[in-house]
Chain A
Amino acid sequence: MEEKRHKFMIPLEEQLPADPNRRSKIISLEEAGRIIASKRTVSLAGSHSADGAMSLIRAAIRAGASGMTMIPPVTASIAADLPIAAGMLKKLYLSYVGFEYLGMAPAFRQAAKDKTLEIVEADEPFIVLGTQAAAGGRPFTPVQYLYEAISAKTLNPELKKVVDPFTGREVYAIPPLKSDVFIMHAQAADPYGNAQCWGGTGQERDKAKAADIVIVQADEIVGPDVITKDPIKTTIPGLWVDYVVHAPFGAHPTFSSGNYALDEEHLKLYLKMVSEGRAQQYLEEYVLGPDHFEYLEKIGGLRKLTQLRRMLAV
């Protein structure tokens, strides 16, 4: 039998890699879109109309994403409504989908009415605690009896009862909400995946741990000097990240915390067009037609984007 040659027997200088450089994880936005479209379950972070992974969502729609399940942030506006308008989703874990002060989510409501979307009557704890279970490979997360008092216990078949072995009382079990791909907006990331969220809600880490693949879109790609200056600012360690996409203003039309404001004018345009039954026209003009940089031109270009940045200076 041939003797196995263990690596520890071979001096380091004889094992130097062909490429001594650390590998970059940067891929193109369109490539990221194709990866997302090839998966079944996508999870998102962000909050209301802030820090949506919008450029990745648009790229996934362009790549023909359909029939997907979404584990959304616990509160989402266009990050959930646009994929529904585009027919990307088959199933949604619902916590809150709406546009807050701008009104209800038109594509979501239409899909609910037409029964073209399977809606799991979930809520904030269901999504957060289910994500935590998946993040740690745990079978479920128990919650106390609060669900006993509300309708979810009969409306959400994924909510089960278990007996608390410590008290003998019946409690509720939330299943692990694992995703195939987690897509996230960051203000800055280095090429190795270390990503900074300057806002965020803390869902990012658990959602990343609960996903098979993590894709980060970043307003800015930064060097090691920025990342190592304050490691506490790194929201997601690069070890957990598979791909990085450089997408300046990639959260538009939502806020990018600390970088630029939401584009209220554009959100209103979206709401108007979808409410008037012109979702397909919106998709063609803003999602399917233009690439990311053409999109930024179309929504007003540098002049508009500069205004959105300046709006944070108040």
Chain B
Amino acid sequence: MSKIATPGTDKYSTAELLAIIIARSCAGDDEVLGSGGANQIISLAANRLAQLTVTPNMWVFCGGAGVYNAKFDTLPIGTWDPRAARGAECKIYLADVVDNGTKGRRGQHRIRRGGSGFGGMQVDMYGNINMIGIGGPYPDLKVRGPGTVGVLWMGSGPINLYFEHHNKRTFVERVDYRSGAGWLEGGNSRYELLDGREGPQLVWTPICVCDFTEDEHRMRLVSVHPGHTVEEVVENTGFELVIPDHVPTTTPPTDWELEILRTQVDRGGLLRRRRLTVG
């Protein structure tokens, strides 16, 4: 039975916590491409927050609305929301999105991808993603997924993964179908198949943050959000996570961070109302 993931305080919501920690991860004065999927308003908020604070050279990309660097202070309901285009610097077309996504990083390898990236209905211990469906044999699916959209581009370079629900149905031993390439079968398998291109880096969930081990590329717990425990993470993960000896608590949002998020990014309070679940 799933329940709402809460940080055990009413000072901030889980969605606000996620937006803030994702923004922190973007820090740097390099040019970062901040993108996120259509429904990832948390990631969109994170990118805008990072741009306003720690990543002044970030390019915030709204895929569905097709623009770079919109200047919203009220979070749109999706990256496809035409209101997300207000104050933008450039219209971008699908042909460009496909070209850039397929080609991956440009020649000089100077663009870092920040923010979240991709999620899905299933993810396994190597960060492979499934948006196709659950069960089989195909096409006799128990649950028909929405389709793969642009998840193919997980194969073209490093990216972070993002989930609004943490449970054993989502975090599974093995994905039923693979629509996005993570570290494949672990080890060097991805490097061998995809010309040495790097794979997923961080995994954001409502209760924790994970990364991948250096050699086996297995998902490893990095921190647990306030209000949650390592045991809760293990209980709700359908595969064996690598658990380090010491797992810190995710640094909670500061007053300063919440102030900027609520007055310059999400004046409408969408993130305060966003429901993320565990179990």
Binding site for B on A (CB under 8 A): 3, 6-13, 15-23, 135-138, 178, 180, 190, 192, 194, 205-206, 209, 211-213, 224, 227-228, 231-232, 234, 236-240, 242
Contact = CB atoms under 8 A, between A and B. Distances in A.
Nearest to A237: B90
Contacts of B28: 17
Nearest to A195: B90
Nearest to A230: B91
7 contacts: A7-B24, A8-B24, A11-B24, A12-B256, A16-B53, A17-B56, A22-B57
Interface residues of B, number: 55
A11 B89 contact: no
Interface in B17-61: 20-29, 31, 33, 49-50, 53-57, 59
B37 to A, nearest CB: 19
A237 B68 contact: yes
Contacts of A206: 99
A207 to B, nearest CB: 12
B255 to A, nearest CB: 10
B248 A9 contact: yes
A227 B108 contact: no
A11 B100 contact: no
B246 to A, nearest CB: 7
A136 B89 contact: no
A268 B85 CA distance: 47
Contacts of A192: 89
B67 A231 contact: yes
Contact of B91 (A136, A213, A234, A239): A234
B107 interface: yes
B29 A12 contact: no
Contacts of B85: 231
Contacts of A212: 106-108
Given A10-B27, A17-B56, A135-B99, 12 more contacts: A9-B24, A15-B53, A16-B53, A17-B55, A22-B57, A138-B102, A180-B107, A213-B108, A228-B88, A228-B89, A231-B68, A231-B89
Given A9-B223, A234-B90, A237-B90, A209 B96 contact: yes
Contacts, number: 137
Contact of A237 (B22, B26, B59): B59
Contacts of A227: 89-90
B96 to A, nearest CB: 6
Contacts of B31: 239
A304 to B, nearest CB: 34
A237 B89 contact: yes
Which one of A19, A178, A237 has the highest number of Cβ atoms from chain B below 10 Å of its Cβ? Answer: A237
Contact of A136 (B33, B103, B209): B103
A239 B111 contact: yes
B92 interface: yes
Contacts of A7: 24-27
B248 A136 contact: no
A211 B107 contact: yes
Contact of B56 (A23, A224, A237): A23
A137 B251 contact: no
B29 A23 contact: yes
A23 B58 CA distance: 10
A231 B257 contact: no
Contacts of A20: 56
Given A3-B246, A212-B108, A234 B89 contact: yes
Contacts of B222: 6
Nearest to A231: B88
A143 B112 CA distance: 35
B88 A11 contact: no
Nearest to B50: A12
Closest 9 CB pairs of A and B: A137-B103, A212-B107, A136-B99, A234-B90, A237-B90, A15-B27, A8-B25, A8-B21, A231-B88
Nearest to A240: B106
B104 interface: yes
